[in-house]
Amino acid sequence: MNIKRETFGQTPDGRDVILFTLANGQNMVVKIMNYGGIITAIQAPDKDGNLADIVLGFNTFKEYQDGHPYFGALVGRYANRIAQGRFALNNQTYQLAINNGPNHIHGGISGFDKVVWEAHEFMNGAEAGVELQYHSRDGEEGYPGNLAVKVRYSLNDNNELRITYQATSDKPTIINLTQHSYFNLSGEGSGDILDHEIAINADSFTVVDADLIPTGEIRSVKGSPLDFTTPYRIGDRIQNVPGGYDHNYVLNKSQNELALAAQVRDPKSGRRMEVYTTQPGIQLYTANFLDGTLGGKSGKAYQKHGAFCLETQHFPDSPNQPHFPATVLQPGETYDQVTVYKFNV
């Protein structure tokens, strides 16, 4: 195991942006910067031992600053959507930033993906990692409470990237953190992911309206193109899903249990990815809004369906859906979630 740190850029207010490179004994490499907690690269071997970078992203900090659809980012305070950016807590209504049509998404205009986190590396015999910390002020993007957040990324020799999230608040608030990497197991810029095979350990999903806001209904996936209880090619039925997959799955697991949520296999490279989480849901997103206007690390344009995301999470709009798992964090409590991405062939 080893770690390297280097300066990757500088923010307009003069803060250094640091890039951390984690490497294990299996030739796997993960690169993370303290700006947005962004994973800028994951290099993993294929069935023949050849390395490829399997996440979308850019070569320079300026490209990340110029705007992108959350490539590799830590997302918060609340991942996914909140209807009309509004929720009530303890008889008080809070109005959040509106940044996705009429709704709020991924923490707002300047969410956790656009801030510089305090960061330091750590290493022991079993893992190498980076710990990130951020203090989100009371009222930031409309959220109540001073929120202290700590996120740890660690890589081990089993090719497991473990992400541990913790947070505390001095006021009742809501929280839902996730990691928003865009994966292509054939390598970023190599084309679409429609031949990737995926299985999701979920018998049901949260139904959404035209703005992708949950209606409140939890519906069985059986007999629908959203059924991945057995492996399917992503492209097999995507034409029957208007716009492509962008759905929250209700995982078959008990609360706070670290359990297998999804598996993905790329037949071409032989790479496999497993996702384990303590979260109750996972969002499958097939990069429906990529349109070729963004060029990536290999110099190739990122096209529609050029990647998939598996965002472990609480359900969208949970603060307005009383029967969804609660996302309220009270003073004296600790928000504590774990997600593991494991890679093999």
Return the active site residues. Answer: 180, 311
Of 74, 75, 57, 56, give the one whose Cα is nearest residue 66. 57
248 phi and psi angles, rounded to 5 deg = -95, 125
> For residue 182, which of 69, 45, 316 has the smallest C-alpha distance?
69
Using DSSP's 3-state secondary structure scheme, residue 320 falls into: helix
Cα distances (angstroms) measured from residue 233 to each of 55, 262, 263, 264: 19, 13, 12, 9
* Cα→Cα distances 53→121, 186, 310, Å: 22, 8, 17
Q: Which of 324, 106, 123, 285 is nearest to 200 (CA)?
A: 285
Q: Do 20 and 29 contact (CB within 8 A), yes or no?
A: no
* Cα–Cα distance for residue pair 59/38, rounded to 1 Å: 13
d(CA 97, CA 101): 11
Q: Is 66 left (phi over 0), alpha (psi -120 to 50) or beta?
A: alpha
User: What is the distance between the alpha carbons of residues 159 and 35, in angstroms, rounded to a whole number?
Assistant: 24
CB under 8 Å to 323, separation ≥6 — which residues? 216
Tokens of 315: 């359900």
